[in-house]
Each structure stands twice: as structure tokens, then as C-alpha cells.
Chains A and B, each alone.
Chain A
Amino acid sequence: MNIYDIIFYLFAGITIISGFLVVSVKNIVHAAFYLLFTLFGIAGLYVLLGADFIAIVQIMVYVGGILILILFGVMLTNKIVDVEIKSESFQVIPAIIFIGILMGGLVFLMVTTNWENNELIIPLTTTKILGNIILTDYILIFELLGILLLIALIGAATIARKDKV
């Protein structure tokens, strides 16, 4: 077990434990902050896999954008209005059944798939390669995503606009 294994188990442990706490903790703000650690753990796993760019995007988009928005929403509603918002669990038995089926399927796939076992070559720079691929092979998807985001932006601006009455 070398140092990379130890780091992997550290990050995996952080991700799984905090991910479990996100869904089990009663206090919704605490859950949001546990999500912070989950997302960081995942970013760490990406770094270990040599995908440094993806890791940074993970932090930038999820921690810097989505998590902060979640926190904003939770805080604005939780403390200013005097209603205690708790996250509770219901429909436990159906959830267990379906998650069990999903989990079983994933484990089955994991065990039966013939994984390619190549020697690990981590490219020194991933940014340039990624940029080239996105702007050549996946240009259509890239442009479509751009249009989708633009639509979302216009929609948000329209909703937020004051009515001119």
C-alpha cells in the first residue's frame, strides 16, 4: 500500500461518509455543508485519476456555484422566516427496495465487466487536449450546451425583471 492508495482511501472515505451524512442529518444547513466535503472528496479523486482540469471544474461549478446557491436558498428561508426546516425520511421501504436493485445491478456490472487494465499514463497537460477535443469532435454538443445555458440565463433574467405596469 503506497502513499497514493492511502490518499485514495482518505478521499473515498471523506466522500462516502460526508455523502451519507448529507442524506441522514436532520439540520438542512449542516447537510448543505456536508455536501461541500463530498464535492471536495470527489475533486480529490479526480486529481488522483490525473484529471486535474475536471477536478478544478468540479470545485468551480459545484462548490463555487451550486453549493453557494443552495446555501443562499436554505439560509434565506431558514433564519429569516421563523420556520424550522428539517429534512426527514419517508417512503423508507420502497426506497430500500429500489436502491437495493440499483446497487445490485451496479455491483453485478462491476464484477462481470472485463475491465481494460492498462498501464497508467497520466498526461502532463490535459487542458490543451480537452480544448482540442471539445472544439473538433464534440463541437455540436458544445454549441448546444452553450445555447441551453443562454436560454437558462435569459429565462432567469426574465423572471427576475420587474413588471413594467
Chain B
Amino acid sequence: MYNFLVDILGNEIIVMIITASLPLFLFVIPFALVAVYAERKVSAHMQDRLGPMRVGYHGLLQTVADILKLFQKEDIVTEKADKSLFNIAPFLVFAGSYAAFAALPFSSIFIGTNTDIGLFYIIAISSLVVAGILMAGWASNNKYSLLGAMRSAAQIISYEIPTALVILSLVMFTGTLNLHTMSELQTSSFLNWNILGGSETGIIKIILIPFMLIGCLILFISTLAEVNRTPFDIPEAESELVAGFHTEYSGMKFAMFFLSEYANMFAVSAIITSVFFGGYQSPFGYLGDLAGIDWLVPIEQLFWFSAKGLFFVFVQMWLRWTLPRLRVDQLMTVCWKYLIPYSFVNLIIIGIITLL
């Protein structure tokens, strides 16, 4: 894909800029539009309501209308706020969550940068989001914002540990940090997905499955906490903190926080997908292979990647409208007393099985 674009345009830098912005315009923004609508519909149906119904068919254009409204809103900066930091913070948060998309393999021909340390890079770059959230909370000069930012940062830092441990055990198992290679290893059928013991065979595969399931569960819980979703949404707990670190933001800056929240949701779902559920690989075979049409395969892969990712996004929404919120101390207990020891044990066991 990259070489193809270089042939057409003849300039590496222009091609780099285009490939870097492709996921943003082709994926993140449309995804956010759909996801906001889906969130409202999912929540509505779970509570036996109808949700948005008026704009377009069954409210399909509701999000577009909301975006248009946000564009027209006045950009309010509170007088006592630290103006420069207040203005930079939303962009820093969005840059952090968007940077993770650079290493996600959308299909076998499209990956932003096929770097050898993709997974490690994604874990590291998410710290930019923490810095941005702290910046937003502090610059707002509002108690609630500051408290929300502090809680958020503490939460993200704590839950980074189980995430990293589970990913480390899978890195030991597959022997690569490259998300592209990791997806390639889980090819041909869903029996080869890491959640089902990868490409191991026989008795080892059967022993591995329960530990892979535990690992997957830990990864899901801790990434859920990292993106500040319910039941871990104490940074923006509406009933205690108004809206947490983005209480003071309005108009497009608020929209940036919203966009980055949804981008983050997809990014962590994509990590779970690529690590445990075969990445862009189809669970069965490819229609393109059967019919002998080569160009169909990458499109199918893109379909499978987004379908699996969107499924986990749906699970996140489902949990949000099902579970109550945790208290701060419960949140820390879950992470430090349960998830971290379990993931350490899991890491050791998967390591031993891999060595066998």
C-alpha cells in the first residue's frame, strides 16, 4: 500500500502524511460518530427506552446534529484558568489516544508503522493521555476537575501494570512485540487464536486455554479501567464530581475529549483483538482465497478487524449500563490485591508452559 502510494505521488513525505492521517479520517471520526449514536441506542434499549428517534431514520443523524451544535457553541475559558495549559490539554489528550492508532494493524496491507515494538509503543504512548488529563484538571482551576484528574491519573497508572503483565505473558508466548507478526501467527482458523492456545497442539493447547482465558479477562478489566469507563468511571463520576477533568470545557474542546474517549475505547478493544482474538484474521477462511480474487482478502481482513473491535466496544457499552460504579478504595483493591497478583501468577504459568 505504501509503495503503491509512493509510485502514484512520487514523494515519500506526502505519502507519509497521507498514511498517517488515513486512520483518522477513514476510521476514528466515522467510528466516533457511530459509537456515540450506538452508545445512546444501547443504553436506551437496555433501559427499555427508545433513545434518539427524531433526527433521521430512528435518530441516525442525531450525532451529526450534535456535532453541528458543538461547532456553533461559544468557546468558554474561565477567567481564573491557566489559559495556555487549558487550551493545549484537549489536543494533548487526543494526540495521545490517536498516536496509538499508528501501530494498529487494520489489515495485512495497512498498518501505520510496522514497527517491531508496536505493543510496547502503544502501552508507552498512552501515558501522554495521563499527562493531558492532569493538565486539563489542573488548568481548569476547579476542585472537581483537579480531583477527577488526580483520580484518573492514579487509576490509569495502577491499571497499566496488570495490562503490561498480561501483554508480557503473551509476548513471551508468541515471541514478538510486533502486532502485525502476532496477527500473522494466529492465521487460518479460530482454533489458532491465542485465546485458544495459539498454534500449539495436543495437550499443551488444552492446558493453556484456562490461563489464556484468565489473561484475557484481566486484560479486558484493566483496559476498561484505563479508558475510564464504567464501572471504573470514578474520574468523571457525574454524581460526585460533575464531569471530572472536563467539567469546565465547552464546545469543540469538550468534543475533543469525547472523541479521544471513543478513540481510546476502540484502541484498547483493538489491542485485545490483536493479542487474543487473531487480529485481522478471519475465523474461518477468506472468500477472496476461495474465489481467487487477491484484492478482496485485505478488505475482508479490515472487516474482521473492525467487527471484532466493535464487538468489544459493544461489550464496554453493555457493561456501562449494567454495572454500578466502584468506590476509589475498591478500585485500588481490585487492581493491587487481585489483578496484579493473578496476572503475575498467570505470567509465570504461561512462561513455564511456553518453555515446555
Chain B residues 67 to 122 lying within 8 A of chain A, measured CB to CB, are 82, 84-85, 115-117, 120-121
Chain B residues 128 to 182 lying within 8 A of chain A, measured CB to CB, are 128, 130-131, 134-135, 138, 141, 146, 150, 153, 157, 160, 177
- B127 & A127 in contact (Cβ 8 Å cutoff): no
Answer whether residue B124 sits at the interface, using C-beta atoms and an 8 A cutoff.
Answer: yes
Q: Which residue in chain A gives the minimum CB-CB distance to B124?
A: A60
CA distance A63 to B115 in the complex (A): 20
Also in contact, A60 and B123, with CB within 8 A (given A71-B134, A75-B138, A125-B116): yes
CA distance A71 to B134 in the complex (A): 8
Q: Which residue in chain B gives the minimum CB-CB distance to A43?
A: B124
Interface size on A, residues (CB 8 A): 25
Of the 9-residue stretches A8-16, A51-59, A108-116, A133-141, which lies at the interface with chain B?
A: A51-59
- A75 & B134 in contact (Cβ 8 Å cutoff): yes
CA distance A124 to B125 in the complex (A): 21
Tell me which residues across on chain B come within 8 A of A29, comparing CB atoms: 82, 85, 138
Tell me which residues across on chain B come within 8 A of A52, comparing CB atoms: 115-117
Answer whether residue A162 sits at the interface, using C-beta atoms and an 8 A cutoff.
Answer: no
Q: Which residue in chain A gives the minimum CB-CB distance to B138?
A: A75
CA distance A33 to B123 in the complex (A): 20
Tell me which residues across on chain A come within 8 A of B84, comparing CB atoms: 30
Answer whether residue B13 sits at the interface, using C-beta atoms and an 8 A cutoff.
Answer: yes
CA distance A33 to B172 in the complex (A): 35
Also in contact, A68 and B117, with CB within 8 A (given A56-B124, A60-B124, A75-B146): no
- B115 & A72 in contact (Cβ 8 Å cutoff): no
A3, A53, A57, A75: the one within 8 Å of B13 (CB): A3
- B146 & A79 in contact (Cβ 8 Å cutoff): yes
Q: Which residue in chain A gives the minimum CB-CB distance to B131?
A: A36
Tell me which residues across on chain A come within 8 A of B146, comparing CB atoms: 75, 79
Q: Which residue in chain B gives the minimum CB-CB distance to A36?
A: B131
Also in contact, A64 and B117, with CB within 8 A (given A30-B85, A79-B146): no
Tell me which residues across on chain A come within 8 A of B117, comparing CB atoms: 52-53, 56, 127
Answer whether residue A67 sits at the interface, using C-beta atoms and an 8 A cutoff.
Answer: yes
Tell me which residues across on chain A come within 8 A of B121, comparing CB atoms: 56
A-B contact count, CB below 8 Å? 68
CA distance A67 to B127 in the complex (A): 10
Tell me which residues across on chain A come within 8 A of B115, comparing CB atoms: 52
- B134 & A68 in contact (Cβ 8 Å cutoff): yes
Tell me which residues across on chain B come within 8 A of A60, comparing CB atoms: 120, 123-124, 127
Also in contact, A79 and B138, with CB within 8 A (given A36-B131, A56-B124, A63-B128): yes
Shortest CB-to-CB span from B38 to chain A, Å, is 31
- B135 & A33 in contact (Cβ 8 Å cutoff): yes
CA distance A124 to B85 in the complex (A): 38
Q: Which residue in chain B gives the minimum CB-CB distance to A80?
A: B146
CA distance A63 to B99 in the complex (A): 15
- B116 & A64 in contact (Cβ 8 Å cutoff): no
- A63 & B131 in contact (Cβ 8 Å cutoff): yes
B13, B85, B124: the one within 8 Å of A64 (CB): B124
CA distance A16 to B343 in the complex (A): 41
Tell me which residues across on chain A come within 8 A of B116, comparing CB atoms: 52, 124-127
Tell me which residues across on chain B come within 8 A of A59, comparing CB atoms: 124-125, 127
Q: Which residue in chain A gives the minimum CB-CB distance to B12?
A: A3
Q: Which residue in chain A gives the minimum CB-CB distance to B84?
A: A30
Q: List 16 A-B contacts (CB under 8 A).
A: A3-B12, A29-B82, A29-B85, A29-B138, A52-B116, A53-B117, A63-B127, A63-B128, A63-B131, A64-B157, A68-B127, A68-B130, A71-B131, A72-B150, A75-B138, A127-B117
* Nearest 4 CB-CB pairings of A with B: A64-B127, A60-B124, A59-B124, A125-B116
B residues lining the A interface (CB < 8 Å)? 12-13, 82, 84-85, 115-117, 120-121, 123-128, 130-131, 134-135, 138, 141, 146, 150, 153, 157, 160, 177
